[in-house]
Amino acid sequence: MFHNLNISQSLERRYVLAVGLIAFVLIASFFVFNQHVARGADDSKVINMSGKQRMLSQRIALLSHMIAYHNITDEARQDYISKLSSALETLKQNHKYLSGEETLNGFNIQISEETKRLIFAPEGLNENLDKFFNLALQIKETFKISGVDVSKGSKEVDQLVALALDKVLFQLDQVVTQYEKEALGRVQQSKDLHVILFIIGLVILTLEITFIFEPMTYLIAKSMKEIEDKNFKLKISNQELDDFAYIASHDLKEPLRGLANNASFLQEDYGEQLDQGAQKRLNRMIHLCARMEKLIDDLLYFSRLGRHELAIRETDLNEVIKDIISLMENTIEEENVQIHIPQKLPTIICDKTKITELYRNLITNAIKYNDKDTKIIEIGFSIQEDKTLLFYVKDNGIGIDPVFYESVFRIFKRLNEEDEKIRGSGVGLTFVKKIVERHNGRIWVDSNLGEYTTFYFTLNMDQQNV
């Protein structure tokens, strides 16, 4: 038993460890997934903004060219200049975000060393964008005055377009490509980490199967084998008990009958020669032999009571009580017994013969242990909150001391000095308790000395119908 307990504790520790590892893998996977999603969103923002910078550069070059070279009205030129100003402002602000100078709604771009080189190196994107921005500002300032000679800004426009085509757009493409490359690298890292976590999960599952489930299967199989062995031993023990019961009912009772018969023969053959004391001793011997035979019969019955199958069927308890009253009619009249049934008793699922014996024993005890002139017995039931039925048999007898509430159900236990005429074997309540337990119920007693005794019990064989 202790060996199995140690194995169970070891398996429990392994199980807790395995659950902890699985929880760690799940939590780690969750965080990796969240970081992957968040980083993917950030990368999308960066790549999208870089693409917008490229389109803004083209738009600025196009607007500058239209302002300088197209034959348009001053009103149209001023509209283009306004659009150019807006595009320049957006270009400048986006560049601050992309170069890490400022944050966008709390989002700070993480720039790699290679990206920094493309942006901040001499003749890099940062420097060329400044030139591009300044040229565009010059064009804007030149043409914002109505009626200006368009030839005055043509040089700056040519330089701006050339700078856009030769350097700015190319370098923006390089930066976007670098961001995309880094984003793909992070995606691959996330995939690799997910694969690693998946492999760890498989390893943990394999370890669980090897070090937990297989030993657990072994332990269960071993426990089942032990249960089978115990059942086999119990079967043998029950057979030995049956054998003992047979011996008790035949071999032990036979000498008692011989002893009682010989005592009877002595009375018949030599009764006139025996004095009153000898006659009394012979009568006592015959009585004790009969009592001993009754005890053996009761012990035999008790040994078989817990092992015989119950004959379960629907039973009307009103019919049961009616039969018992009919059989005990003479005793009830002689003892001046009144039996009260406050309400109609239910029909229940039970072994009718055993329940009849249960009520007969309780009614018999209620009559036997009652010193009142009018002996009152109440038989009833109540419905509990959980819809189960609680039965009871109550009398106005001598009562039971609370210290004996448990021992009253022990076999051959008698609590009172009884009259010889009503002396029992002390097994009635033991039989009652065994019958109740066979019906998956329980029984208990409530009493007040000199006033009353109530036996409560439940019966739970399948379903009880009121």
**Cα Rg of the chain, angstroms:** 52
**CB contact at 8 A, 91 and 56:** yes
**CB contact at 8 A, 431 and 357:** yes
Q: Which of 201, 64, 228 is nearest to 138 (CA)?
A: 64
Give the whole-angstrom CA distance, residue 106 versus residue 103: 6
Please tell me the pTM assigned to this model. 0.48
Give the whole-angstrom CA distance, residue 123 versus residue 311: 103
Burial (CB count <10 Å: 0-12, 13-18, 19+), residue 248: middle
Tens place of pLDDT per residue across the chain (466 aa) = 445 556 566 666 766 766 777 777 778 777 777 776 766 677 777 777 777 777 877 777 777 777 766 677 778 878 877 887 887 788 778 777 777 776 766 656 677 778 778 777 887 777 777 877 777 777 777 766 555 555 555 676 777 667 666 777 777 777 778 777 777 777 777 777 778 877 877 777 777 677 666 777 777 788 788 888 888 888 787 777 667 766 666 667 777 777 878 878 887 877 777 788 888 888 888 888 877 777 777 666 666 665 567 778 899 999 999 999 998 999 999 999 999 999 999 999 988 888 998 999 899 999 998 989 999 999 999 998 888 899 999 999 999 888 888 878 875 555 555 444 445 556 778 888 988 988 889 999 999 998 999 999 999 875 444 3
Rounded (10°) angle between helices 169-208 and 125-143: 140
Give the whole-angstrom CA distance, residue 33 versus residue 259: 93
Beta strand 375-383 with 337-340 is parallel
